[in-house]
């Protein structure tokens, strides 16, 4: 391992899905099993999303992690 680098345990997410909730706590999207991603759709290009507007957790279908704030992001224009 290179100097200055630290090893981190990476949790196995192969049997989990990423879930995204809105501010009201309503589940809006569940990502594909094992992918670790989920797409929030329907936002206009240029929208500035604040930290905490959405929350994310991982679930194996039975157990679910604590929800954490999705960080700040801006919606980019569609490529085309």
* DSSP secondary structure letters along 33-73: TTT------SPPTT-EEPTTSEEEEEE-SS-BPPPEEPPPE
Q: Considering the domain boundaries, does residue 56 fall inside one?
A: yes
Kindly report the pTM of this predicted structure: 0.80
Q: Considering the domain boundaries, does residue 27 fall inside one?
A: yes
Q: pLDDT tens, 19-77?
A: 999 999 999 999 999 999 999 999 999 999 999 999 999 999 999 999 999 999 999 88
Q: Considering the domain boundaries, does residue 61 fall inside one?
A: yes
pLDDT at residue number 12 = 83
CA nearest to 42, candidates 3, 75, 73 = 75
- Measure the CA–CA gap between 28 and 22, rounded to whole angstroms: 7
- Residue 35: give the domain boundaries: 17-39+46-73
Give me the number of domains the chain comprises: 1
């Amino acid at each position: 391992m290179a100097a200055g680098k630290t090893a981190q345990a990476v949790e196995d997410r192969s049997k989990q899905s990423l879930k995204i909730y809105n501010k009201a706590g309503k589940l809006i999207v569940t990502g594909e099993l094992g992918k670790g991603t989920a797409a929030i759709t329907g936002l206009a290009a240029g929208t500035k999303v604040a930290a905490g507007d959405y929350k994310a957790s991982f679930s194996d279908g039975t157990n679910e992690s604590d929800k954490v704030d999705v960080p700040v992001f801006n919606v980019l224009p569609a490529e085309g």
